[in-house]
Chain A
Amino acid sequence: MPDSHYDVIIVGAGPAGLGAALYAARDRFKTLVLEKMIPGGQIYNTDRIENYPGIVRIDGPTLIEQMQTQVESFGAEIRTGSEVTRLEPLTDGHIAVCCDKDRHIGRAVILAPGSYFRKLGVPSEDEFRNAGAGVSYCGTCDAPFFRDKDVVAIGGGNTAIEETLHLAKYVKKVLLVHRRGEYRADRILVEELLAKAHEPGSNLVIKYHTVVTAIQGEGRVQSVKLKDVKTGREEDYPCEGVFIFVGMVPNTDFLRGIVDLTDMGFISCDSGYLRTRIPGVFAAGDCRLGAAMQLATAIADGVTAAMMIRVYFRDPSWWQKPVSDACQPLGW
Chain B
Amino acid sequence: MIKIAAAQLWVHDQDEALAFYTQRLGWEVRTDVTLAEMGNFRWLTVAPAGQEEIAVVLMAIPGPPVFEPETSEQVRQLMAKGTAGTVFLTTDDCRASYEELSSRGVEFVDLPEERPYGIDASFRDPSGNHIRLTQELPVPVA
**Binding partners A and B:** no
Binding site for B on A (CB under 8 A): none
Binding site for A on B (CB under 8 A): none
